[in-house]
């Protein structure tokens, strides 16, 4: 796989990452805070992603926060 060392914020997705993203976009499109079926499915996907990320980082899932952008993440930290 080619690496692009001059990209600040993006580069082509790894094929495995693309497959997972496409699955999440297909079945996890709803607002995970709602109660209907698609929303509950989105909540499961989100919770699984949080648990996997926490496991990879060696932290508790409640210590992982996903934000819509780097700017939003910085504002949370300030």
Using one digit for the tens of pLDDT, what is the confidence trace for 7-29? 667 778 889 999 999 998 898 88
| The pair of three-digit structure tokens given for residue 71, joined into one six-digit string | 């700017």
pLDDT(66) > 90: yes
Q: Distance (Å, rounded) from C-alpha 64 to C-alpha 57?
A: 9
Q: Which residues contact 14 (CB under 8 A, 6 or more apart)?
A: 1
pLDDT number for residue 1: 65
- For the residues 61-78, what does the mean pLDDT come to? 91
Domain range list for the chain? 15-77
pLDDT number for residue 8: 67
- For the residues 57-78, what does the mean pLDDT come to? 92
Q: Distance (Å, rounded) from C-alpha 68 to C-alpha 47?
A: 16
């Amino acid at each position: 796989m080619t690496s692009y060392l001059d990209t600040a914020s993006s580069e082509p997705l790894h094929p495995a990452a693309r497959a997972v993203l496409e699955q999440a976009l297909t079945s996890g499109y709803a607002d995970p805070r709602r109660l209907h079926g698609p929303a509950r499915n989105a909540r499961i996907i989100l919770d699984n992603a949080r648990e996997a990320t926490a496991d990879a980082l060696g932290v508790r899932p409640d210590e992982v926060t996903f934000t819509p952008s780097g700017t939003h993440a910085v504002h949370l930290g300030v």
